[in-house]
Amino acid sequence: MSRKIDDATMDNVEILAKLALSDEERERAREEMEKILSYVEKINELDTDRTEPLVHILESGNVFREDEVTNGSGKEESLANAPRKKDGQYMVPKTV
């Protein structure tokens, strides 16, 4: 293991991911993330100075649709799996 993720970084990642991990979960996540980092560091060993940055994995581009309405009301289908709803809207914990 080339590098250790410190507690402050773990705290910040938890906040960004909106996760509250138990001590056990936290250690497992730390280990997995450290593995990912060392994998990326392996790639960093390659000399890419003379390689053009890749914009997209696929060579082609310009996949478009025309500006025509093709969807009807999706209200029922969209709300079908909502755990809580009211007046045709999703109900979620209070924001702001």
Partner 1 sequence: MAKQYETVIGLEVHVELSTKTKIFCGCAATFGEEPNTHTCPVCTGMPGALPVLNKKVVEYAMKLGIAANCQINRYSRFDRKNYFYPDNPQNYQISQLYLPICHDGWLDIETASGNKKIRIHEMHMEEDAGKLIHDEWEDCSLVDYNRSGVPLIEIVSEPDMRTAEEVIAYLEKLKMICQYLGVSDCKLQEGSMRADVNLSVREVGSETMGTRTEMKNLNSFKAITHAIEGERARQIELLEEGRQVIQETRRWDDNKESSYSMRSKEDAKDYRYFPDPDLMPVVISEGWIEDIKKQQPEFAPEKAKRFQQEYGLPQYDASILTQSRRMADIFEETAGLCGQPKKVSNWMMGETMRILKEKGMDPEELSFTPSHLADLILALERKEINQQGAKQVFEQIMENDVEPISYMKEKGLMMVSDDGAISRAVEEVMAENPETVEDYRGGKEKVLGFLVGQVMKKMKGKADPGKVNALLREKL
Q: Which chain residues interact with partner 1 by CB under 8 A?
A: 16-18, 55-58, 60-71, 73-75, 77-79, 84, 86-96
Name which of 17 and 27 has its Cβ closer to partner 1. Answer: 17
> 13-47 burial string, b = 16+ CB within 10 Å, else e?
beeeeeeeeeeeebeebbeeeeeeeeeeeeeeeee
Query: In whole angstroms, how close is the CB of 6 to partner 1 at the nearest point?
Result: 16
What is the 8-class DSSP label of residue 45? T
Name which of 18 and 50 has its Cβ closer to partner 1. Answer: 18
